[in-house]
Amino acid sequence: MPEFVPASRVTRIKSSPSVAAAARVRELKAEGRRILDLTVGEPDFDTPQHIKDAAVAAIGRGETKYTSVTGTPELQKAILQTLERKTGQQYTPAEITIGGGGKQVIFTAFMATLDQGDEVVIPAPYWVSYPDMVLANEGTPVIVSCGEDTGFKISPEALAGALTERTRWVILNTPSNPTGAVYSREELAGLAAVLQDHPSVYVLTDEIYDEIHFGEEPITSLVAVAPELKDRVLVTNGVSKAYAMTGWRLGYAGGPAPLVAAINKLQSQMSSCPSSVSQAAAAAALTSDQSFVRESLEVYRERRDTAVAGLNAVDGLHCWTPDGAFYAYVNCVGVIGKTAPDGRRITTDEDFTLYLLEAASVAVIQGSAYGLSPYFRISCSTGLPVIEESIAAIEKAVTALV
Ligand code: PMP
């Protein structure tokens, strides 16, 4: 067999570390080990019944064919209403796009805009996929480290310092995966003021976790704070997290018509459209009773409070309180340099997460995967008993370090 040589875009990127972590957990479980899995990036709830019913009804009506690239009229209407509710801005059908998950929408947006050497500013810690999506599309990720001093958020000064003539995009992710940080109205206004001076820079604001936020006010979108930027902001979202619909693969975005047209042109050659059945389900999710969203938020809140309090009680760990999403980003600088009972030294956050997996059977993801060390991410998309048991196991493992 001839040696297989992949395209350079494949060798430039790595597989998603969270997908790799999930595979490792599956392997260990298959070996019969009981693993407390805090790596999972998807809600543990089932998709609400009324959403499943809407999908079944669509199948019954024969809605099993290609749709237009931009989706069924029902889904389009639902997205337009949703974007208006979330941003306070009106979008037209020419300004929205859909895809197989928010992930595909973001990937296609980069594919539609990046040429070799174009820069994308990515605040770290970041969602693991952003840099590789940029690299896969010939762009250059420009990573801006944002530590606890700025609440893991990019400041106007840091943003101004990162912009160059080659900057095509800035990514904002609010609430953030992995930190749960949320940009306030004032913080967004500060960033908008910098962006005013750079009229060719586009902003991708990834708001996929916007329904999971613990503050009083809804999440503020950059376009709500700075409507004058609307013609260069792509708001991306999807139904995966808010409605426990990760497997349905349906994401959407609102942005300027020329950008959306370019995305849709690519989409027309790549997938034609996302699944018609998922479109019906997503339309039902966005337009029907939202009590599932409110109820799951309260469950996440209880888990977050338990996780944060428990982790902060562990000597050597420090956990910042997330304002949204279902993750916590835990500072583990206090364990770096220590030695495990088997004599192995913990020198990085990756060493520590491996130690936790071996010594405590707790699976978490190392901060290096998200571009800021030494930290680890836990996911609270698992039941309270597992979170409590995990914290007790983590505490025991940390106490055993010398
Ligand atoms: N953005 C962020 C920050 C995410 O964490 C995820 C899912 N892990 C996505 C986008 C994509 O979600 P989906 O493709 O399921 O819509």
What does each C-alpha distance from 345 to 335, 342, 354, 395, 402 come to in angstroms? 10, 9, 12, 18, 9
Q: What's the CA-to-centroid distance between 1 and ligand 1, angstroms?
A: 37
Q: Which atom of ligand 1 is nearest to the CA of 18?
A: 8
Mutating to test ligand 1, I would choose from 19, 129, 209, 326 the residue with most ligand atoms within 8 A of its C-beta, which is 129
Q: Say how far apart CA 355 and CA 140 lie, in whole Å.
A: 34
**In the predicted model, is pLDDT for residue 16 greater than 80?**
no
Nearest CA to ligand 1 atom 5: 177
| pLDDT computed for residue 167 by the predictor | 98
**In the predicted model, is pLDDT for residue 275 greater than 80?**
yes
Judged on CB neighbours under 10 Å (0-12, 13-18, 19+), 178 is buried
Q: What is the pLDDT of residues 354-398, one digit of tens each?
A: 999 999 999 999 999 999 999 999 999 999 999 999 999 999 999
User: Residue 310's Cα: distance from chain center in Å?
Assistant: 24
Q: What's the CA-to-centroid distance between 381 and ligand 1, angstroms?
A: 14
| pLDDT computed for residue 27 by the predictor | 87
SS3 per-residue string spanning 18-53: HHHHHHHHHHHHHCCCCCEECCCCCCCCCCCHHHHH
Domains of the chain: 8-46+292-399 (3.90.1150.10), 63-287 (3.40.640.10)
| Residue burial 370-398, b: 16+ Cβ < 10 Å; e: rest | bbbbbbbbbbbbbeeebbeebbebbbebb
Q: What's the CA-to-centroid distance between 401 and ligand 1, angstroms?
A: 35
Mean pLDDT value of segment 49-74: 97
| CB of 103 shorter than 6 A to ligand 1 | yes
Question: Is the Cβ–Cβ distance between 99 and 274 less than 8 Å?
Answer: yes
Mean pLDDT value of segment 67-82: 97
Q: Say how far apart CA 349 and CA 33 lie, in whole Å.
A: 23
Mean pLDDT value of segment 238-252: 98
**In the predicted model, is pLDDT for residue 77 greater than 80?**
yes
| CB of 246 shorter than 6 A to ligand 1 | yes
| pLDDT computed for residue 188 by the predictor | 98
Interface ipTM: 0.99
Residue percentage of the chain with pLDDT more than 70? 100
Residue 237 belongs to what H/E stretch? strand 233-238
Nearest-CA neighbor of 400 among 313, 340, 314, 331?
340
- Helix then strand count (H, E) for the chain reads 14, 13
Q: What is the pLDDT of residues 90-131, one digit of tens each?
A: 999 999 999 999 999 999 999 999 999 999 999 999 999 999
Mean pLDDT value of segment 134-153: 97
Beta strands in 239-380 (DSSP E): 251-254, 318-319, 327-331, 362-363, 365-366, 375-379
Q: Say how far apart CA 27 and CA 65 lie, in whole Å.
A: 37
The mean predicted confidence, pLDDT, of the chain is 96
Cα 51–Cα 54–Cα 60 angle in degrees, nearest 5: 150
| CB of 174 shorter than 6 A to ligand 1 | no
Mutating to test ligand 1, I would choose from 40, 174, 208, 239 the residue with most ligand atoms within 8 A of its C-beta, which is 208
Q: Say how far apart CA 303 and CA 321 lie, in whole Å.
A: 12
pTM for the structure as a whole: 0.96
Task: Give the CB-side neighbour count of residue 192, counting CA atoms within 13 A.
Answer: 22
- pLDDT band at 38; cut points 50, 70, 90: very high
Residue-by-residue DSSP string for 53-112: HHHHHHHHTT--S---TT--HHHHHHHHHHHHHHHS----GGGEEEESSHHHHHHHHHHH
Question: Is the Cβ–Cβ distance between 149 and 178 less than 8 Å?
Answer: no
Question: Is the Cβ–Cβ distance between 121 and 288 less than 8 Å?
Answer: no
| pLDDT computed for residue 129 by the predictor | 95
Q: What is the pLDDT of residues 298-338, one digit of tens each?
A: 999 999 999 999 999 999 999 999 999 999 999 999 999 99
**In the predicted model, is pLDDT for residue 20 greater than 90?**
no
Q: What's the CA-to-centroid distance between 109 and ligand 1, angstroms?
A: 14
Q: What's the CA-to-centroid distance between 27 and ligand 1, angstroms?
A: 24
| pLDDT computed for residue 348 by the predictor | 96
| pLDDT computed for residue 28 by the predictor | 87
| pLDDT computed for residue 63 by the predictor | 97
Q: Say how far apart CA 264 and CA 368 lie, in whole Å.
A: 34
Question: Is the Cβ–Cβ distance between 272 and 66 less than 8 Å?
Answer: yes
Q: Which two tokens stand for residue 149?
A: 């001093």
- pLDDT band at 349; cut points 50, 70, 90: very high
Q: Which atom of ligand 1 is nearest to the CA of 102?
A: 16
| CB of 237 shorter than 6 A to ligand 1 | no
What does each C-alpha distance from 349 to 61, 225, 251, 295, 343 come to in angstroms? 52, 37, 32, 34, 17
Q: Say how far apart CA 198 and CA 169 lie, in whole Å.
A: 11
Q: What's the CA-to-centroid distance between 222 and ligand 1, angstroms?
A: 19
- 3-class DSSP state of 337: coil
